[in-house]
Amino acid sequence: MRELARVSAVLLLVNLCATTAGAGVFAGYRDDFRPDAPLVAGWQYLWNAPSGWRTASQDDSTGSIGDPSYYVALQDAGSLWTPDGDTTYNNNPPAGYCMLTSTGGHPGQGAATIVDRGPVAAYTIQPGDLPGDHGPVILTNSFAKKSSPSGDSGLDVVVHVNDGPATHTLIPNASSGTFNAYLGDFSVGDTVYVAVGPDNSSQYDTFTLDFSLSNQVVANYRDDFRSDAPLAPGWQYLWNAPDGFGTLAQDDSTGLITELSSLLPLVDAGTMWTGDGNTNGADPGPDGYIRLHSTGGHPGRPLEGVDRYAIAAYTVPVAAPYAIRDSFLFRPSSAGNGNEVRVFVDPMSPLVNTVIPAGATGSFDVFIGDLEAGDTIYVACGTNMNSGSDSFAWDFSVVVTPEPATMLLLAPAVLALARRRPRS
């Protein structure tokens, strides 16, 4: 019975991670901004005030960004939020100019003690934000921009979780930058703080800003599919083309799936993407029939011992442990010998290399492991070296997820959570 409970807990955890409604982005600065109270649940607009602010005991050497014990609420000033609730920006130092608006804001002033002051957009994890109320969180879709070329310095974007270590992203004058990050495992009540300071010199520091918080699902093939350019961020639609494709020098014995240099973009053909931009699947070359569309596609034609794959590739935005989840490939025709599915980061070491039989459905879920921002996950479908009736339907998600060993450790807690849920 104990082993059965353990297995049930693991299955429950996997199910929660894979199927919870609303997976993906659960909070966004601009989407959720409110110019007046009440704020959207979970959000706070704060700033790092010195101890004793606006009293005789004010101590401007205190209240550094990164110490939430000094954070106090910004006040409603109409269409924006300021420390004192007014828009007289040069009063009550070091609060002057500090504000948050629907698109960004402005840091506060420096003081003789050189403690940067800035607005802080904080979000506290709410029930339902995470599958099972616990799991990885990604800070994504982020940017900060200082438009002015003036001033002695740019901006300092500071991100920290609860009272943990802070990361700093410096934005130079007249520049923009991102601060995407894998923030780790969260539970309800944990708080993400995003602060913007003046980087030691408060001059011409008006900024624009946005960011989102996401739970596990980073990308999904069908949800993100675009039939026309531009593609959704991170996505590429590719195929492994022979050398010299479309020229007299074309060599159909080249362009192996194990060679990243052989991958070429599929071309917009209206409602789908094909090897040459037309929808004539009967083209005699290796690109014949190859396509990706909103629900699946078709591989190319194997010639001279080289299979041609339709490939959906996703470049990850942040360093984190990743997996393919919620995957399936349905090969409806019973003719032929099925379709081959490969999942890889390094083409020489595929993480999945399996055949979905003719007339069958199969999954290609896999834990990929730790990736760096800019690494690419490739999901490829080939003919299994027998071109005929190889149309397929598929879908899959790219997720951030704990390693399998971590999931086993979490299983008892998830089982306990399930036992506490009221009966329906």
> pLDDT for 123-134, tens place per residue?
999 999 998 999
Q: Calculate mean pLDDT across residues 161-190.
A: 95
Q: How many other C-beta atoms lie within 10 A of the C-beta of residue 284? A: 8
pLDDT tens digit string along 190-243? 999 999 999 887 778 999 999 999 998 889 999 999 999 999 999 999 999 999
Q: How does strand 167-171 pair with strand 366-371?
A: unpaired
What pLDDT does residue 18 have?
Answer: 34
Q: Calculate mean pLDDT across residues 273-286.
A: 88
What pLDDT does residue 166 have?
Answer: 95
For residue 243, give every residue at least 6 positions away whose Cβ sits within 8 Å of its Cβ, in sequence order, or none: 249, 250, 251, 254, 255, 262
Cα–Cα distance, 66 to 264 (Å, whole number): 46
Q: How many other C-beta atoms lie within 10 A of the C-beta of residue 411? A: 20
What is the number of residues in the chain?
Answer: 424
Mean pLDDT (the chain) is 88
pLDDT at 383 over 90: yes
Residue 233 near residue 171 (C-beta atoms within 8 A): no
pLDDT tens digit string along 334-375? 999 999 999 999 999 999 999 999 999 999 999 999 999 999
Separation in Å, CA 219 to CA 4, 63, 396: 33, 39, 9
Domains, in order of start, for the chain: 24-215 (no CATH), 219-400 (2.60.120)
pLDDT tens digit string along 258-276? 999 999 999 999 999 999 9
pLDDT at 408 over 90: no
Q: Calculate mean pLDDT across residues 406-421.
A: 37
Cα–Cα distance, 262 to 177 (Å, whole number): 32
Q: Quick one: pLDDT band at residue 162, thresholds 50, 70, 90?
A: very high
For the residues of 308-334, what is the DSSP string, one character each? --EEEEEE-SSSEEEEEEEEEEE----
Please tell me the number of Cα atoms within 13 Å of 166 on its side-chain side.
Answer: 18
Q: Calculate mean pLDDT across residues 402-411.
A: 50
Residue 226 near residue 234 (C-beta atoms within 8 A): no
Q: Calculate mean pLDDT across residues 152-175.
A: 93
3-class secondary-structure state, position 263: strand
What pLDDT does residue 114 have?
Answer: 75
For residue 317, give every residue at least 6 positions away whose Cβ sits within 8 Å of its Cβ, in sequence order, or none: 138, 140, 180, 218, 233, 234, 373
Which strands, in side-by-side order, build the sheet including 263-265? Answer: 263-265, 235-240, 310-315, 376-382, 339-344, 352-356
Query: Facing residues of 371 across strands?
Result: 320
Q: Calculate mean pLDDT across residues 387-401.
A: 94
Q: Quick one: pLDDT band at residue 95, thresholds 50, 70, 90?
A: confident
The 3 state secondary structure assigned to 125-166 is: CCCCCCHHHEEEEEEEEEEEEECCCCCCCCEEEEEEECCCCC
pLDDT, greater one: 165 or 404: 165
Q: Calculate mean pLDDT across residues 414-418.
A: 34
pLDDT at 103 over 90: yes
CA 78, 79, 81, 86 torsion-angle sign:
negative
DSSP state of 179: -
For residue 117, give every residue at least 6 positions away whose Cβ sits within 8 Å of its Cβ, in sequence order, or none: 47, 48, 49, 63, 65, 94, 95, 98, 107, 108, 109, 110, 111, 197, 198, 202
What pLDDT does residue 111 have?
Answer: 52
Q: Quick one: pLDDT band at residue 282, thresholds 50, 70, 90?
A: confident
Cα–Cα distance, 403 to 111 (Å, whole number): 46
Cα–Cα distance, 409 to 382 (Å, whole number): 37
Cα–Cα distance, 313 to 239 (Å, whole number): 10
Q: Calculate mean pLDDT across residues 165-182.
A: 94
What pLDDT does residue 387 have?
Answer: 87
